[in-house]
Amino acid sequence: MKATITATAKYIPKNILSNKDLEKMVDTNEEWIKSRTGIEKRHIVDKDEATSDMCAHIAQKLLDKSQKSAEEIDIIIIATSTPDHLVVSTAAIVQDKIGAINAWGYDIAAACTGFIYALETGAKLIESKKYNNAIIIGADTMSAIIDYEDRNTCVIFGDGGGGVLIEKTHNDYGVLDSILHTDGSGSKFLTIPAGGSRNPASNETVKNKMHFVYQDGKTVFKHAVNRMAEVSKKILQNNSLAPNEIKLFIPHQANKRIIDSTAKKCGLKEEQIFINIENYGNTTAGTIPIAIDEAVDNKMITKNDLLLLTAFGGGFTWGSMLIKWGKVN
């Protein structure tokens, strides 16, 4: 038994923050942002929108596409670094919003690798034969934790998310393999310094802007390229696959230079690589599921195609996943 994706969905906030807009906010310019990151614009939530609102929209779309009722859902897993609250999972709030009264769920905090972690976890729960289906979502409201006076981070991140419905299947479609890693020694290079039990919120932490994302860009860039390439090549090797057998390579959309370098190391051609970072920026856990849904909408994936996913994020966390595409609603 395997877990196969049967529906995909995304939610993109309507508000757009362009490179031109950022020129007015920090010491940067449109061409520099585009040349260094590949990003042209990013989307930002409304003032009254939170991560659970995006996730509820995504979950409802999955129900509509699959023609399932909320009561039929067994599990909800949400990958996010920006939950509505520190106490009470975003999954619990979404469960209530959509009326999935028979589902249980929880959040996964694995930064940009979160969706792959969540999809692997959900797939294994399905494979246990105890559950029939699961909603897996990756979404982040990065605008809530970004300092828009810090040009090193504010040009990179955007808000948004996507998700999939996975169901049990007795054929060979679905999640075929995965490789997941964590290295906590990298935690100091990409983090939010305050807000947890180590540095609880105080006048001092707020004054020192310790509740915003801190990133050592050069260190993260180097590790991201090397780690994503390593696990992507390893998963191909483990499954006796050549690079040209992959229909679509969907990497975490952090930086176009990272994506290009990773793909080159893996021996993948331009036409195999999915890139949409120019439209959304880095939506953290949202990048891969947004990309999957766009690929489906654009008919870039058909039955029996092999997908290779890879991501790298704070923690450090990183991983790859191999999927055989089946029938999707």
Catalytically active residues are: 112, 252, 282
Helix axis angle, 217-238 to 256-266, nearest 10°: 30
Rounded (to 5) percent helix, strand, coil in the chain:
40, 25, 35
Enumerate residues 6+ apart whose C-beta is below 8 A from 107.
Answer: 77, 78, 79, 80, 83, 89, 90, 91
Residues 6+ apart with CB under 8 A from 185: 316
* DSSP 8-state symbol, 282: B
Q: 9: closest CA among 294, 222, 258?
A: 294
Q: Check if the beta carbon of residue 116 is closer than 8 Å to that of residue 178.
A: yes
Between the CA of residue 3 and those of 22, 59, 138, what are the distances in Å?
Answer: 42, 18, 18
Find out whether 325 and 173 touch, Cβ atoms under 8 Å: yes
β-bridge pairing 248-251 and 317-324: unpaired
